[in-house]
Amino acid sequence: MESVFRTTGRWLRGNLHTHTKESDGRVEVAEAINKYKEAGYDFLAVTDHRKTVDTTDFTTPGFLTIPSIELNGRDPQSNFIYHVVGIGVTPFEQEDREWIGPCQEMIDKVRAGGGVAILAHPYWSGNDVNDLMNLRDVCAMEVYNATCMRHGKERGEVYWDSLLERGKMIWGVAVDDTHHYDIDVAAGWVMVKAAELSTSAILAALQAGRFYATNGPAIVDIEYDAQEIRVHCSPVTQVRFIGRRGSGRSVIAQPGSEITAARVKLPRSPYVRVECVDRQGRTAWSQPIHIG
């Protein structure tokens, strides 16, 4: 896999999970979009529950809104709750009868609508890794969901690593899942490397893994060869190189100091992913890199 930092394109900041008063959010669509514009975002997916809200009129030459939706329901076999975010879908609504049914049906609905499927907040939902292994055509899962901080379940790296260790390659995203517009606005986002600011370009980049996720730090560069992997980032206290089981390594700054670069020998693992952690515990997550 070619490093996203060596591909052509421009970096675009976006939120992939947003609610408004069209479902259970606290603000109107116009106010929600304006908050992200003011925060310096390039694109926004309004993902109200069970319906695609028309945000076409809010797209401008410098700011893109992407037609999206969040589907939710309960699997009658496993009895687990699943939420699936569909990015870039042809507008549709989820019917009442579709609240009950396997998660795969929701994913298939998103894919049939031309969208990219993202598994939402697996920790908050109490999902089972064995069931997640059987899902097809899921582009990514939320490894950080800001609104779930209210319940202490905002992070999902353990789910991510469990799937990666079992051979299921899946990307990781950070999102707001904005509802209250307090701690859950402009708190988790993706930095996408895309050819242009368009829905098709962003969807292509998401599917290809040409992005990283963060709730604060920036990853400037990742390069690797047959012997080692090297990272440059904004000032952080730790850079973690995470592979299969205990194969990873961490580079930790001296007490009271920060680092902006780290390098380690490639772990004995079929993949490695990078986390850059700052003083506040905020993290940037690279996508898993195939190395073996």
- pLDDT of the residue at 1: 54
- Same domain membership, residue 156 and residue 20: yes
Assess contact for 135 and 101: CB atoms under 8 A.
Answer: no
Structure tokens that stand for 143 in this block:
């490894």
Mean pLDDT, all residues of the chain: 96
Domain boundary among 212, 241, 256: 212
Assess contact for 79 and 118: CB atoms under 8 A.
Answer: no
What is the share, in percent, of the chain residues with pLDDT greater than 70?
A: 99
Closest among 80, 76, 113, 77 to 94, alpha carbons compared? 113
- Same domain membership, residue 223 and residue 98: no
- Same domain membership, residue 114 and residue 40: yes
- pLDDT of the residue at 77: 86
Give the DSSP letter of residue 28: -
Structure tokens that stand for 202 in this block:
């962003």
Structure tokens that stand for 219 in this block:
């990853």
Structure tokens that stand for 273 in this block:
């992913």
Range of the domain at 89: 4-212
Kindly report, residue by residue over 69-121, the tens digit of the pLDDT.
Answer: 999 999 988 889 999 999 999 999 999 888 888 999 999 999 999 999 999 99
d(CA 13, CA 170): 20
What CATH number should be reported for the domain holding residue 224?
Answer: 2.60.40
Domain boundary among 156, 183, 212: 212
- Same domain membership, residue 190 and residue 149: yes
- Same domain membership, residue 130 and residue 262: no
* Residue scoring higher pLDDT (201 or 96): 201
Q: Dihedral of CA 138/139/143/146: which sign?
A: negative
Structure tokens that stand for 43 in this block:
């694109």
- pLDDT of the residue at 291: 87
Domain boundary among 212, 245, 261: 212
- Same domain membership, residue 194 and residue 239: no
- Same domain membership, residue 196 and residue 98: yes
- Same domain membership, residue 228 and residue 139: no
Domain count, the chain: 2
Q: In the predicted model, what is the mean pLDDT of residues 25-41? A: 98
Quickly state the pLDDT bin for 292 (edges 50, 70, 90): low
- Same domain membership, residue 54 and residue 167: yes
- Same domain membership, residue 281 and residue 165: no
- Same domain membership, residue 127 and residue 101: yes
- pLDDT of the residue at 3: 83
- pLDDT of the residue at 6: 87
- pLDDT of the residue at 2: 66
* Residue scoring higher pLDDT (243 or 3): 243
- pLDDT of the residue at 56: 96
- Same domain membership, residue 206 and residue 191: yes
What CATH number should be reported for the domain holding residue 125?
Answer: 3.20.20.140
Q: In the predicted model, what is the mean pLDDT of residues 203-207? A: 98
d(CA 170, CA 173): 10
Structure tokens that stand for 248 in this block:
């990873």
